[in-house]
Structure formats: structure tokens, C-alpha cells
Chains A and B, each alone.
Chain A
């Protein structure tokens, strides 16, 4: 078994997904099958191989410390579910 139902429960919590029991059962089976399949990468002995972090061999891309216009507050909050006093309201932690 590549991943148990308990591990799926744990992962769902880590990912902030409130899954129903039905979802957990369904996903657990599917994720197990998928992980089994992708786990195939372990078959290769790649101890001497460097990981590819980027498809292009780029480095040192940055910008000068010059300000650009920020969004007007209305735009920043335009899609906010709960704007309040110019800020984003959220329930208490």
C-alpha cells in the first residue's frame, strides 16, 4: 500500500481540505493507485544525478529598487469577500 486512509486524512488536513468520509474513501483508493504508479521513479538509481530545478539555465534575474504604482485600494479590495475599513476581514484565528 502506497498510502493509507489515515495518511490521506493527515494530508487533507495539511492541505486544508475538509473532506467528507465518502470523499476520503474514494480518494484514498485513487491516491493509492496513483502513488503506486508514480512511485515508479524509485526504480532508477539516480544517485549521481543533479535535479533539474529549471528548464532554462538562467540565473541572476532581478529588478532595480524603483517603485511602480501600487493598486488603488478599491482595486485591491474589488474581489474581497469581506472588505472592512479598507482591509480584508477574516474570522478570528
Chain B
């Protein structure tokens, strides 16, 4: 029996606004505890929320990037639950009237595009940070007590929920990478997993390939990298398939992974279905974004990563195109003139290894160097790359070292070498073809390393043939 996975993602992105979602404390959650708080984000008696306009606009912008519709009216809801990191005892979020709905996000693949449906993108506030003390290495299990820091409480979050359209762990990873890239390019978030500004959960189920049933899914939490996610999904798929193939049933569970240990088996819990008792937030009035605003934001969309991958694919093929875009180097690539595949290769391989600031690179000049790659010595080429972001970088200096390719210049040198080494010439003609290297070496020595190796090779062979 052949199986396929049914995968959906729930991603939380921190918006990098200056202030929090419902109060005007600065967002600075790595500062000393509780130094960026106020009655609102501490939920003192009597405090009231006031939405951050920038956060609303950026969410709409993101909605556009996800191909979503922006309904005429959106409201906030209260999601009620008790936890120390949730100071009001409810989170202000969105429920059935979110800011953005029904979109799609294209993930280009080597064999065509996967279109992943987007259920919704909505706006909410983040919880506080809890540090567990007294247990092993700050983990929650065995902790003696916890300390709550409300600096993060109230940070704007966009929650993106996909439809279960993803069909492989690699696709999930590609989706996440592309989404992350998109969000960063829109300028609305740093989306760094290590800093907690991007988090995601995965829903996984499996079904017989080709069927359209939706079987029980499990929720995977706490995977803190895209690679980890792909592996975690893979393992969960196999686990579920094994269960079905041995006649069992998959239980609806939440699997909590150990973020520091990819290979540790996750902890499983059948969490009580929470009754969040959602109701419309009475302290906030509806959002009815003006049509002009929505259109202006749509117009503000830059060319998105997925579109650029497809555009570049026709120039350099899928692998290079995807690599360029997801590494944020395609803009540099586009600026460098010259034969596309060659440029792409240099940008993805040699330049990437050097780690220059792409915006500082002098693309015109670098283009000239790349074009002359075959003609200049390797050392000069490497040096040119390393200097390409320095002020005043010019190709001329390196092109001057272009290898001598003029046959008229090389032939006399070659002739000289051959006449000076008659016994080796005889040996070569007698079958010792390895001696070609010796002759090449001699020519290079004679020309101070500046001869074009390819041409030298050709000329030597011809002359040695007799």
C-alpha cells in the first residue's frame, strides 16, 4: 500500500513594530525583565487595549503576499484561558472574522509548483516569557518555580494557517523557507527562529495515496528549525503508517519535541480539548480597512520570492534559482551583467563562501571579472571576488593579469621549451604522455604563470604531434 502525508502548518510571525500590539511599550524582549511594561501589557485592573495601526497594515500587506482576500470588516475576539504568561486570562486574537482569508502561496519545485492554500492570516498578541527555575537546565519538567517576564507580553503576532495541502516533508521545509524569505523581504519581521520571532507547529496525518480522506492528525510542536521539522514530519509519517499497516488507529495527540535534541522521541499528550469561550472583544471596535488603504498596500508589494524563483528558473534552472532567492542573493545576481549561468554559479558558490554584503558589491565591475574568468589566473580571480565589495573596486587591475592567450606570443615560448628539452620530447613521442604536464609547467614558468593554460595545452599537443 502506498501512502501520502497530509500536512498543514500553523506559523506565528513576530511583527517588528516599534511598539506592542495593544499598548505603546517598546518591543525589546531581550532587555532586563519587566523593563518594557505598562498597566496594559501587565493587565492591571482597569487597563484597556489600543491597537497598533502599523501592525494592522503590515498584516494586510502580508495577506496580499499570501494572495488573501481582505474582508470589509474584521474584529478581535477574546480567547479565554488561564496561564501565568497570559496576564489578562485571555488573549486578544481573532476568531471567525480575521483580517485575511482564503489565499494561496506558490512553492516552486523542481517538478512544478505546489500551490498551498492559506486558510487565514490573523493578528493577535504574544504571551509573556516564563523562565523555569529549579529543574534541569531550565526545562519545565521538575521545575521548582517559574519567573514571569512581561517584556514580550503584547508583542504583535501574525498567525498564518495553511490548508492541509502540503504533501512531503521537503515541501513543508520549502514552504517555510519561502514564507520566511517573503516575510523578511516585506520588512515586517526578522523571522528568526533562534530569536523566537518565527515559530510554527505542524499537523500531520497520512492516507492511502490518491484518496481524499482526512484521517486523524497529530500536532507537532517545538521543532526549532526547518530541518528539524522535515525530519520530525518524516518520523511521524512513518510512525503513523506503521500503526495503520499493523491494523491500529492513530490517536489525536500533541507531540512535544525537545527543541535541543532532534533525535529524542517527543512527549505525547492527549491535551484536553480547550474551551476558549471565544467572544468578540468588547474593548475594541471593528477594523474596516478602507478600500484605498487595501489597494495601496497591494501596490506596495515587491516582486515576491516565489515569483522571482519562477522568473529566474528560465535563466539558470530551478536549483540555482531557488538557491539564489532563498539565500537572498538573487538581487545581486540580477545586477551582475554577463552569461547567466556563469554569474549564478559564482554568486552561489564562490561569493557565498566569502560572505560579502551583497549591496556593497560593484556588480558592473564584477561582471567583467567573471566574464574573463577563463583568461585570468585562479589567484587573481579569487582576489577580485574578495575585493568586489570594497570601495573603488575596478576590474581593470585583474584583467591586466589576463593570461596570455595570443598564439603569436605563446608559440615562440613553446618552441623554445621544446628545443631545450629534446630528450623529453622524444620520450613523450615514444608514449610517455604524462610528460605533457612537465612541458606545460615549463611554459608557465617561462611566462611567469600568465599563459592561458588551455591554449598552451592545445599548442603543445599540436607541436608534439609533430
Closest CB of chain A to B461's CB: distance in Å? Answer: 70
Task: Answer whether A71 and B37 are a contact pair too, CB < 8 Å, given A62-B51, A63-B50, A65-B52.
Answer: yes
Flag if A76 contacts B32 (CB, 8 Å): no
Q: Nearest B residue to A61 by beta-carbon distance?
A: B285
CA distance A71 to B153 in the complex (A): 14
Contact with A along B29-59 (1 / 0, CB 8 A): 0001111111100100000001111111000
Flag if B146 contacts A76 (CB, 8 Å): no
Flag if B145 contacts A90 (CB, 8 Å): yes
Partner of B56, one of A56, A62, A70, A86: A62
Q: How many pairs of A and B residues are in contact by the CB < 8 Å rule?
A: 121
Chain B residues with CB under 8 A of A92? 132, 134-135, 140, 143-146
Q: Nearest B residue to A58 by beta-carbon distance?
A: B285
Flag if A86 contacts B34 (CB, 8 Å): yes
Flag if A76 contacts B24 (CB, 8 Å): no
CA distance A14 to B35 in the complex (A): 32
Interface residues of B in 1-39 (CB under 8 A from A): 17-19, 23-26, 32-39
Interface residues of B in 269-287 (CB under 8 A from A): 275, 277, 280, 282, 284-287
Task: Answer whether A62 and B53 are a contact pair too, CB < 8 Å, given A86-B34, A92-B143.
Answer: yes
Closest CB of chain A to B22's CB: distance in Å? Answer: 9
Flag if A67 contacts B18 (CB, 8 Å): yes
Flag if A65 contacts B17 (CB, 8 Å): yes
- A59 touches B (CB below 8 Å): yes
- A26 touches B (CB below 8 Å): no
Closest CB of chain B to A90's CB: distance in Å? Answer: 5
Chain A residues with CB under 8 A of B341? none
CA distance A86 to B148 in the complex (A): 9
Flag if B146 contacts A85 (CB, 8 Å): no
- B446 touches A (CB below 8 Å): no
Flag if A93 contacts B53 (CB, 8 Å): no
Task: Answer whether A67 and B33 are a contact pair too, CB < 8 Å, given A85-B147, A92-B144.
Answer: no
- A84 touches B (CB below 8 Å): yes
Closest CB of chain A to B443's CB: distance in Å? Answer: 67
Interface residues of A in 61-79 (CB under 8 A from B): 61-68, 70-71, 73, 76-77
Closest CB of chain A to B71's CB: distance in Å? Answer: 13
Partner of A87, one of B23, B140, B149: B149
- A38 touches B (CB below 8 Å): no
Closest CB of chain A to B26's CB: distance in Å? Answer: 5
Chain B residues with CB under 8 A of A61? 50-51, 284-285
Contact with B along A39-54 (1 / 0, CB 8 A): 0000000000000011
Describe A's contact surface by its main secondary structure: loop
Flag if B147 contacts A88 (CB, 8 Å): yes
- B75 touches A (CB below 8 Å): yes
Closest CB of chain A to B379's CB: distance in Å? Answer: 51
Chain A residues with CB under 8 A of B145? 89-92
Partner of A93, one of B39, B51, B146, B277: B146
- A20 touches B (CB below 8 Å): no
Task: Answer whether A87 and B282 are a contact pair too, CB < 8 Å, given A71-B38, A76-B150.
Answer: no
Interface centre among A68, A71, A84, A91 (most CB of B within 10 A): A71
Closest CB of chain A to B307's CB: distance in Å? Answer: 29
- B364 touches A (CB below 8 Å): no
CA distance A68 to B55 in the complex (A): 17
Flag if B147 contacts A84 (CB, 8 Å): yes
Chain B residues with CB under 8 A of A77? 34
Q: Nearest B residue to A64 by beta-carbon distance?
A: B53
Flag if A16 contacts B82 (CB, 8 Å): yes
Closest CB of chain A to B18's CB: distance in Å? Answer: 5
Flag if A70 contacts B38 (CB, 8 Å): yes
Chain A residues with CB under 8 A of B25? 67-68, 70
CA distance A59 to B56 in the complex (A): 13
Flag if A63 contacts B148 (CB, 8 Å): no
Q: Nearest A residue to B80 by beta-carbon distance?
A: A14
Interface residues of B in 286-323 (CB under 8 A from A): 286-290
Flag if A88 contacts B286 (CB, 8 Å): no
Flag if B140 contacts A73 (CB, 8 Å): no
Flag if B146 contacts A89 (CB, 8 Å): yes
Task: Answer whether A70 and B51 are a contact pair too, CB < 8 Å, given A53-B280, A92-B146.
Answer: no
Flag if A66 contacts B24 (CB, 8 Å): yes
> A interface vs B, CB < 8 Å?
14, 16, 53-54, 56, 58-68, 70-71, 73, 76-77, 84-93
9 contacts between A and B (CB under 8 A): A58-B285, A60-B288, A65-B18, A65-B55, A67-B19, A84-B147, A86-B33, A88-B84, A92-B140
- In addition to A86-B33, A88-B150, A92-B143, 4 A-B residue pairs with Cβ atoms within 8 Å of each other are A53-B282, A86-B32, A86-B34, A90-B145
Closest 10 CB pairs of A and B: A87-B147, A65-B54, A68-B24, A62-B53, A58-B285, A62-B51, A88-B148, A87-B33, A86-B33, A59-B288
